Structure 1
Amino acid sequence: MREDNSLSLSDLSDSTNIRENESLLSLLLKDHTTGKNIKWGTDSYINHGYSFRDDQEIKINLITGWYEGFIRPRVDKDIDLQLERQRNKAEVFTPSWVIKLQVNAALKDMEKLPLADFIQTKWLEITCGEAPYMVNRYDMETGEVIPLKDRSGFIDIKFKKLNKKIELEEEWLKLAVEIYKASYGYEYQGDSLLLARENLILTFIDNYFYMFGAFPKEKILLEITKIISLNVFQMDGLTYEVPYSVGGLEESGTQLNLFEEIETEEYITPKLANIKLWGVDKTIEFKLLSERNDTEMKFDVVIGNPPYQMTTEGNNRDVPIYPYFMDEAYKISNKALLITPARFLSDAGQTKSSWNQEMLNNPHLKVLYFDQYSGNIFKNTDIKGGVAITYYDNEKEFGHIEVFIRSKELEKITSKVSSIMEKSINLIHHNRSSYRLSDMVYKDFPEMKNKVKKSERLSITSNIFDKLSDIFLDEHPKNLKDFIGILGRQNHKRKVKWIRRKYIQDHPTIGKWKVFVAKSNGTGAIGEALSEPFVAEPHMIPTQTFITLGNFDTENEAIALNKYIKSKFARVMLSVKKATPDNARKDVWSYVPLQNFQSDSDIDWMGSISDIDSQLYKKYNLDNDDINYIETIVKEME
């Protein structure tokens, strides 16, 4: 049989034979922390009745017989359910090539290990879903079975080495058991967890069949399955709890008829998930792994694709949670390879800036892979700022990332520009919240205090034209000295309205020329076009929809700045830090050089934007490769 490893027994039988064996299926459904069965952990099946609620156990009779084939891989589910679980349960398909890239990177330092030592390296796949990083049996995008020789999960790789070096069945089985003892994963959703466990035992069957041309005996199957059920368990990765183990009502297990009441028991405290440590032969709470500095309790590798965000109750806002999974991975392992949104590498997005800086200055962390277009990895998924695979190794120092630049070409250009640049344009950047209303508004219109939050009463918010409409004039007033124009948006259009000067606090730019730029533009792609900047005359200010650049005495200076902002050169330098739509923060502009916008400048601002670009390329010593990169990737603005 070893001559043909493109097929395997379990490719043909899949999970059907497993679910027909009640002893195996009982183990596959076992939760060793609670002593009960794993929970559904998803409301995807709730339409089928009470027993299919997310807080109920998955029972054998609910997935066999009439319900055979009820639980199936996500790729086989209908498209509406796939999209629902992508939105609400953070499920995305991780392509096989991404899995291979991550696994292979972790394997580089293990190539010379003796077979037994390599097999015993401990790996954990976090939020494992159907366990593609452990056993890459089928393509997560297409559902097609992957031939044994082409699989790239870490268990697959271990079996490849085992199959190559050991032919005696007794010795092979002994080491196969060790493979499973060293392989861990956790998952919240019970249906995915069952599929993960099945994939692991089917992978054992695949390899046994490949080596010995027969179906393995039930005794060894039960032994392997028990290990799997202990090592791949149900857990909420944010709390370490077994889902629905606190305050949840559990059926007594007795079959009821329609007229009987359900007997229940209630858990008093949440149950923290346990993990079996085979090397020291003890079971502990998983949470303790991150709290104790004990090498016996650490993993050699943590790998996976963690959840990216969750929606908080109340404000319906998406909060990033992948930083938590990254931090925890670094606490419990020597190496960690995780694929996440890349925004934090540009100190952007909703992650805390302090955490972003901690990552950027961690000498043990490097970027293994980056793509600013998330759709290239996860189909039909738009992740602003792109996606990155980061590699953490606490035994190596890669140097600080400090500033992550998203392409080698841009990195080269940035190096040249930075060596010449004396000052940044962020020196003439004015924070969008620096313009403020005065207290006079509420002295003249006391009833308006109830229209806005106390904390926002002096803010010139993006919706101020609607909130405080009575203080604005739509028409240009005759006595301009007593009024200030405000650029904002209303009904999805830019508008200038007028407000009495006494209602605005003093600001250094009020009597000056400047340029307003929308605080949010595009997606964060390198060199994308910006919304049209607005050259603002004296006695004009913006709402918080815009930022302000400049503080000039003459109109020509503001016009020159406007041309500069629209130049390809300035926008490619803006892309060094602008990885998301947001460009409101001062530091986003820090790599855009400040220019002299007066008539004695070394740049002739009277020319076209294309002419200005050519002058800037020459000023910063850019070569033909640099120029071709900019001209190709940066969108034109007139």
Structure 2
Amino acid sequence: MQAEIDILENDILEKYPEVLDILLRDHTTQQNIFWATDNYQELGNEFQFHSQIKTTSITGDNGHIIMPRVKKDKDLQQSRVREMAEVFTPSWICNAQNNLIDNAWFKIDNVFNTESTLPDGTQKWEVNRNKINFPEGKTWKHYIRDTRLEMACGEAPYITSRYDTTTGEFIPLENRIGLLDRKLRVINENVDDSGEWLEAAQTAYKNIYAFEWQGDSLLLAREAMLITFIENYSFKFGKEPLLKSIQYIAYIISWNVWQMDGLKGVIPMSCGAKKTETTTLFGDVEVKIEECEGCMKDNINKHNGIYCLIKDWGNKDPETGRKGRKIKFIDLLKK
């Protein structure tokens, strides 16, 4: 198991062909995710705020550009806090809040672990090493199908806790507390056939969603979820999954963890004043500036930006007839 918290893009490129390209995909724009930050602009034209993140931009000699926040320069960390309100949550808080969700779902407390405080004030948790039992009327299959969402996910510490995002401490697989970690744990406990395991894992991934504004953090979240899949399969079967299985999980992640302005439901910076030019009958050019109604009225349904698409994996797409219907994220808010 990889105990290094920084997942290197060069390693992904070398070991898993096409996977990095998949992880960089934005299905709403049919392009790549973009930086959405000025932190890298001094590196050149490919690193400007609106520039797409390309595989060639973050591999080779640039293979160490994207790194977890805890490894970034302290001044850069503080500037991201000031400019983007980027704050990362200690793993013990993520665990406590995830426990609240499971307490409600299982209708009992301390299913996966028990929280504790050491004499020095350090917050920890003690993992329940016994096989997870499920309440009457529910099974592990219901649990992995239960849909969970992390908003403004950053590096996705609530989803997969490979490391503590505040200290950089690597967390062994058996001690992890993320929403996805818990789903994969119950799969490991209940499935021994590799084919069935892969199918169950795909179901688990299809029921974990997250969004993030900044492209670098979004990629880190996607990478962490991908490596978590590989780590769990290796833990269970003593070898890595086939490339096609890794590619499909990457594809699911690229749909379910997307780039979005969470206050507007659109691609970041895609809405605002729009200028249109029309030529009159007499050849004069008239310029019209149309403000974004959604921004002016604080109405999430009235923005003129690009509304983000996600995939509803359980329903058929009317265009293809296959499961996996594309929907606007904001349409979920109307239900």
Instruction: Please tell me the TM-score bracket, short chain as reference.
Output: 0.7 to 0.9
For 1:285, the equivalent position in structure 2 comes to 328
AA paired with 2:46?
A: S
Distance 1:271 1:19 in 2: 30
Alpha-carbon contact 1:190-1:234 (below 8 Å) kept: yes
Is 1:109 the counterpart of 2:104? The answer is yes
For 2:45, the equivalent position in structure 1 comes to 50
CA gap of 1:169–1:230, structure 2 versus 1, over 3 A, is: same
Is 1:19 the counterpart of 2:13? The answer is yes
Distance 1:278 1:10 in 2: 32
Q: Choose from 23, 28, 31 the match for 2:23.
A: 28
Instruction: Kindly state the Cα deviation for residue 211 of structure 1 after the two structures are TM-superposed.
Output: 0.3
AA paired with 1:31?
A: D
Q: Choose from 186, 189, 209 the match for 2:234.
A: 209
For 1:98-497, list aligned pairs within 5 A. 98-111=93-106, 112=135, 113-246=138-271, 269-280=304-315, 281-291=324-334, 293=335
Deviations 1:37-78 (A, max 9, x none): 001011111111222111110011110011011100000001
Aligned residues: 266
AA paired with 1:42?
A: T
Q: Sequence identity of aligned pairs in percent?
A: 43
Instruction: Kindly state the Cα deviation for residue 22 of structure 1 after the two structures are TM-superposed.
Output: 4.4
For 1:76, the equivalent position in structure 2 comes to 71
Deviations 1:249-299 (A, max 9, x none): xxxxxxxxxxxxxxxxxxxx52110111111131111111111x2xxxxxx
Distance 1:214 1:189 in 2: 33
Deviations 1:412-466 (A, max 9, x none): xxxxxxxxxxxxxxxxxxxxxxxxxxxxxxxxxxxxxxxxxxxxxxxxxxxxxxx
AA paired with 1:207?
A: N
AA paired with 2:333?
A: S
Distance 2:309 2:329 in 1: 5
Distance 1:246 1:158 in 2: 37
State the SS of the aligned residue for 2:177: coil
Alpha-carbon contact 1:276-1:282 (below 8 Å) kept: yes
State the SS of the aligned residue for 1:44: coil
Distance 1:27 1:93 in 2: 26
Alpha-carbon contact 2:21-2:55 (below 8 Å) kept: yes
Distance 1:13 1:41 in 2: 21
Distance 1:99 1:226 in 2: 26
TM-score (norm 1): 0.40
Distance 1:22 1:284 in 2: 29
For 2:62, the equivalent position in structure 1 comes to 67
Deviations 1:595-636 (A, max 9, x none): xxxxxxxxxxxxxxxxxxxxxxxxxxxxxxxxxxxxxxxxxx
AA paired with 2:202?
A: V
State the SS of the aligned residue for 2:314: coil
AA paired with 1:18?
A: I
Name segments (4+ residues, structure 1) moved above 4 Å. 9-13
Distance 1:17 1:132 in 2: 22
AA paired with 1:238?
A: L
AA paired with 2:195?
A: E
RMSD over aligned Cα, in angstroms?
Answer: 1.9
Instruction: Kindly state the Cα deviation for residue 162 of structure 1 after the two structures are TM-superposed.
Output: 1.1
Distance 1:114 1:199 in 2: 27
Distance 2:192 2:148 in 1: 25
CA gap of 1:226–1:125, structure 2 versus 1, over 3 A, is: same
Structure scoring higher RCO (CA < 8 A, sep ≥ 6) equals: 2
Q: Choose from 82, 91, 110 the match for 1:87.
A: 82
Distance 1:142 1:231 in 2: 27
AA paired with 1:108?
A: N
Distance 1:70 1:14 in 2: 11
Alpha-carbon contact 2:5-2:168 (below 8 Å) kept: no
State the SS of the aligned residue for 1:186: strand
State the SS of the aligned residue for 1:275: strand
CA gap of 1:158–1:123, structure 2 versus 1, over 3 A, is: same
Distance 1:76 1:11 in 2: 12
Distance 1:56 1:13 in 2: 23
Alpha-carbon contact 1:9-1:205 (below 8 Å) kept: no
Instruction: Kindly state the Cα deviation for residue 34 of structure 1 after the two structures are TM-superposed.
Output: 0.3
Distance 1:35 1:275 in 2: 13
Distance 1:32 1:208 in 2: 27
Distance 2:42 2:223 in 1: 25
State the SS of the aligned residue for 1:75: helix
Structure 2 stretches lacking a partner, 5+ long: 107-134, 274-303, 316-323
Distance 1:169 1:131 in 2: 27
CA gap of 1:29–1:223, structure 2 versus 1, over 3 A, is: same
Deviations 1:344-384 (A, max 9, x none): xxxxxxxxxxxxxxxxxxxxxxxxxxxxxxxxxxxxxxxxx
Alpha-carbon contact 2:5-2:170 (below 8 Å) kept: no
For 1:325, the equivalent position in structure 2 comes to none
Structure with higher Rg: it is 1
CA gap of 1:9–1:51, structure 2 versus 1, over 3 A, is: closer
Instruction: Kindly state the Cα deviation for residue 142 of structure 1 after the two structures are TM-superposed.
Output: 1.3
For 2:277, the equivalent position in structure 1 comes to none
